[in-house]
């Protein structure tokens, strides 16, 4: 262990997440920036520059990623290489450790040579951090786009899958998140105005609209433009949700649209609960092992923990730091985890 602070990065396809940890693991900063990487690598370059301006410089950087899978890149190997190169451009004098799951931290050259170990390993870092703190838990990170469901037991990550395809197959990865998920991915039909109404297969509304109408979505959690590019108000969300039914906002009052949002939020909870129950059914965890919640959508998880008859633990309570830093660390759990893990090595 050295006394030097470490900056941890999670390079996503839609957001850049970053945290800074002191040698003892205490977090001193955490933030998330929108980064529409699929539109061009320059979007990441700009986000990295903005983060660099807002954070203190550090000589050591720990990096994990999921952005390598965006369709900007020819494939994951190409994506890993170009993301590593982007970090080197942004911080040319820094020392980098690229997180590779069970293999730990690799040098940039090693990471480029072994891209399958590096690609989308961010969930492993966050689960490993939770395992070190609690020993046994079901770690669940509800992000903007996806949800990670990872069992940890005996102080180790006990996931059945490692790659995206393996994790999707065993439901340790669920493509349902708190802001970017299209509403059409939550349900085919909904009850509305006494009818069983089919939803349109269009990107008219997202989960952010659903959770904004229920009042559960934090005001600062939705950092990307809305589906129609208009305002992030209750009325704007209701108007977008109405379009999913082929309706206009004026066809019902706001209370009816809020009721529809509550139904869709419940459909998403049910989707996540089914996946969590499948992972728990392997019998790796005692009934007393908690659900550990992370991500901007972790507001969904205390209720799911109650339904699963398990205690709930918040990722923010596992880290040291000021309250605002711990809150953002919970939203940016993989970045916080790689920063803390690297600071302890």
The counts of H helices and E strands in the chain are 12, 14
pLDDT of 106 = 98
Query: What CATH number is attached to the domain comprising 212?
Result: 3.30.420.190
Let me know if residue 157 belongs to a domain.
Answer: no
Clarify whether residues 10 and 124 are in a common domain.
yes
Let me know if residue 295 belongs to a domain.
Answer: no
Let me know if residue 147 belongs to a domain.
Answer: no
Clarify whether residues 121 and 32 are in a common domain.
yes
**242: which residues sit within 8 A by CB, 6+ positions away?**
248, 249, 251, 252, 257
Structural domain boundaries, residue 238: 183-270
Query: What CATH number is attached to the domain comprising 97?
Result: 3.30.420.40
Instruction: Please identify every stretch of the chain with a pLDDT value under 50, giving residue numbers as ranges.
Output: 1
Let me know if residue 16 belongs to a domain.
Answer: yes
pLDDT of 238 = 98
Clarify whether residues 111 and 13 are in a common domain.
yes
Q: Which two tokens stand for residue 301?
A: 């998880």
Clarify whether residues 21 and 110 are in a common domain.
yes
Rounded Cα distance, 62 and 310, in Å: 33
pLDDT of 2 = 55
| Sign of the Cα pseudo-torsion (176, 180, 184, 186, in order) | positive
- Render pLDDT for 155-164 as a digit per residue (tens, 0 to 9): 999 999 999 9
pLDDT of 4 = 83
Report the domain count for the chain.
2
Clarify whether residues 14 and 123 are in a common domain.
yes
pLDDT of 1 = 40
Q: Among 270, 304, 328, give the residue marking a domain's end.
A: 270
Rounded Cα distance, 260 and 192, in Å: 7
């Amino acid at each position: 262990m050295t006394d030097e602070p470490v900056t941890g990065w999670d390079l996503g396809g839609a957001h850049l997440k970053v945290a800074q940890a002191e040698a003892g693991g205490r977090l001193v900063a955490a933030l998330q920036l929108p980064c529409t990487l699929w539109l061009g690598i320059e979007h990441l370059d700009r986000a990295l520059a903005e983060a660099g301006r807002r954070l203190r410089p550090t000589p050591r950087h720990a990096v994990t990623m999921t952005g390598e899978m965006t369709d900007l890149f020819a494939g994951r190997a190409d994506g890993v290489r170009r993301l590593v190169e982007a970090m080197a451009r942004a911080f040319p004098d820094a020392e980098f450790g690229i997180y590779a799951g069970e293999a730990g931290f690799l040098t940039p050259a090693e990471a480029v040579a072994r891209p399958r170990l590096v690609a989308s390993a961010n969930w492993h870092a966050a689960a490993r951090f939770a395992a070190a703190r609690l020993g046994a838990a079901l770690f669940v990170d509800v992000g903007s786009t996806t949800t990670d469901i990872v069992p940890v037991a005996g102080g180790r990550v006990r996931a059945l899958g490692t790659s995206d395809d393996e994790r999707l197959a065993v439901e340790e990865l669920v493509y349902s998140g708190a802001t970017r998920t299209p509403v059409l991915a939550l349900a085919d039909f909904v009850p509305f105005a006494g009818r069983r109404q089919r939803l349109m297969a269009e990107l008219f509304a997202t989960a952010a609209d659903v959770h904004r109408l229920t009042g559960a979505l934090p005001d600062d959690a939705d950092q990307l433009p809305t589906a129609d590019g208009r305002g992030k108000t209750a009325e704007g969300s209701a108007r977008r949700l109405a379009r999913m039914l082929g309706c206009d906002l004026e066809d019902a009052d706001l209370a009816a649209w809020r009721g529809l949002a509550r139904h869709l939020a419940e459909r998403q909870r049910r989707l996540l609960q089914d996946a969590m129950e499948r992972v728990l059914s392997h019998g790796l965890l005692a009934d007393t092992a908690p659900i550990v919640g992370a991500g901007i959508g972790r507001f969904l998880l205390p209720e799911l923990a109650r339904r699963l008859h398990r205690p709930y633990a918040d990722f923010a309570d596992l880290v040291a730091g000021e309250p605002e830093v711990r809150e953002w660390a919970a939203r940016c759990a993989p970045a916080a985890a790689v920063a803390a893990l690297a600071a302890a090595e």
